[in-house]
Amino acid sequence: MLSRIGLIATLCVLLVAHQGQSEVGAAEDGAVVVTVTGKLGKTNRGGSDAFRDAFFAFHEISFDKAYAFDRAALAALGMQELTLRYPSWPETPVTLRGPLLGAVLDEVEAQGRSLRVQALDGYAVEFDIETLRKGRFILAIEADGRPLPIGGRGPAWLAFPPGGYPGESEDSDAKLVWSVFHIAVE
Ligand SMILES: Nc1nc2c(c(=O)[nH]1)N[C@H]1C(S)=C(S)[C@@H](COP(=O)(O)O)O[C@H]1N2
Ligand SMILES: [Mo]
């Protein structure tokens, strides 16, 4: 039978083990929302499996390692806020929250020069990493205090202020990829 002290010690160990797990990344804890592949210095999962990673397979994407983020892991990178309105949007600005894309790239130790941000519907946009590190790019997972839903613009929405990417006109939100699930570092 466990002594009282033994029991307390066991509980402490379990508590620490559990905290440790959520620190390491969270791929194990919650549903993965965004997976980063390509030239990474740090990964937290192995290669794609045509059965389990069916949506990657649908898009004909395969990889031998990747870094998978759930919402908590993205939030742990530091939630930033961006209140935006593009001319084609409804009157009331949208307040988006999520980590800086640069923080995501730091976490995975991105080593490439460009990024391909890909959405569930297949829409994808290429960005130059050096350029976007200078701007204010947020991988939003919340809008107006609510998680971005699948079926809406979630699970993640790449957002930056009007004119925030060189060469993009002030009124175009064409590079604001919504329903992002995959970022490839190339
Ligand atoms: N996932 C996804 N994101 C996307 C698009 C898209 O088709 N799919 N269209 C882009 C374009 S061309 C524009 S103008 C803006 C706004 O598109 P919406 O009017 O369909 O919301 O989202 C951008 N992000
Ligand atoms: Mo568009």
pLDDT given at position 27: 46
Q: Which amino acid is at 5?
A: I
Right CATH for 2-185 from 3.90.420.10, 3.50.50.60, 3.30.70.2660, 2.60.40.420: 3.90.420.10
The CA distance from 41 to 185, in Å, is: 11
Smallest CA separation from ligand 1 atom 12, residue: 174
Residues with CB under 6 A from ligand 1: 119, 121, 123, 173-174, 176-179
pLDDT given at position 14: 44
CA 107 / ligand 1 centre spacing (Å) = 27
pLDDT given at position 17: 42
Q: Within a 13 Å sphere around the CA of 68, how many CA atoms are in the beta-carbon half?
A: 19
pTM reported for the whole predicted model: 0.87
Closest CA relative to residue 155, chosen from 173, 178, 138, 125: 178
Top mutation candidate among 123, 127, 171 for ligand 1, by most atoms within 8 Å of CB = 123
Domain regions of the chain by residue span: 2-185
pLDDT given at position 29: 75
pLDDT given at position 6: 55
The CA distance from 99 to 52, in Å, is: 27
Q: Is the dihedral of CA 169, 172, 174, 180 positive or negative?
A: positive
List the chain pLDDT tens, one digit each, 186 residues.
346 655 445 544 444 444 433 444 444 579 999 999 999 999 999 999 999 999 999 999 999 999 999 999 999 999 999 999 999 999 999 999 999 999 999 999 999 999 999 999 999 999 999 999 999 999 999 999 999 999 999 999 999 999 999 999 999 999 999 999 999 999
The CA distance from 54 to 60, in Å, is: 9
CA 156 / ligand 1 centre spacing (Å) = 13
pLDDT given at position 40: 98
CA 29 / ligand 1 centre spacing (Å) = 31
CA 174 / ligand 2 centre spacing (Å) = 5
